[in-house]
Structure 1
Amino acid sequence: MAAKNRFPRNVTCKTAHGLAYAVYGSQYKHKQAGNLRLTDIARTINTQDWELAKDIVSTLNAFMASKDLELLEDHFVRFQSNRTLTSVQQQYMSKALNLTKDVWDKMVDIKDRSVSMTHDGYLKLYQMSQPDLSQRFGAILLDEGQDVNPVIANLVQIQTITQVTVGDRHQQLYR
């Protein structure tokens, strides 16, 4: 991390994932992966319906990037632009959400190797735990603040210590 060498010794430089890894990620070393694989999800839910597996992965990714503490219909990406759903679409979404919850439960189960733990997964667990960083730090400096996703933004916003966000709103990745 380049920033570490640019600050005095009384400054601790960490990424959000680095903070989360120390608490949760290290527990999942034996089942970590960079991304969820469609084949693993399809095998876990015992299906050859690749669209369903894809919907589960995209729903889980949307949940892990969100500030929400529970999986919601809002995380189901496929129908987000639809204002009203047909009964068939509603049933499909309900089924997909239930399966996504099952996959999430397997992901966070340390003993269950059927679903890998991703970096965004342990970051989500950390955010959901609502950590109090005031026990370790006097302030937070969030660099590239325009590029943080909602889960990281929430992790910072819930803190009671001084927060400084640095960034360029004209270079925003997440809108």
Structure 2
Amino acid sequence: MPWLPITIVLSLAAIVSTSAIAYVKSTSKPKNPIPPSIVIDRVFVDKSDRVLKLMSDGKAIKSYRIALGGSPVGHKQQEGDQRTPVGVYTLDYKNENSIAHRSIHISYPNTADKAYAKKLGVNAGGDIMIHGQMNGFGYLALFNQRRDWTDGCIAVTNDAMDEIMAAVKLGTPIEIVE
């Protein structure tokens, strides 16, 4: 069984190198941080292109690749449908103690969302956030951001989440389109 020691050594090397890469990334500064003088006045999300843009005076200042829920097409209609809402909402609070690496809450459901869910006889759901990777799994962002894995939230890398948290003020509108 000479392959067993080789497999163990290769596995350990992969774990050590992944940890080293994660450490270097966590201690490095963003390449192009958003200057504090730029006011982000809108967040724009295009679900079909899987992109989140920070906007100022109609210009995209920074763009990020996003992951969505497991059933991303269409407007969120009820709790558990794994969809991200479509429409204009507000970023209304920040959570530094999230189950993911930081998060900003999106004001879903609004009055129309609640009324529609009531008409259907279902719970509209809530807790829709922009957030980083699940705590302890930031090193998997390279893989996670290539698939839809949330329950309806908008996921970015941890570095992106740090930039977004610093740049976006509470009360900023977020427009989410199909």
Give the TM-score of the pair, scaled to structure 2: 0.30
More strand by share: 2
More helix by share: 1
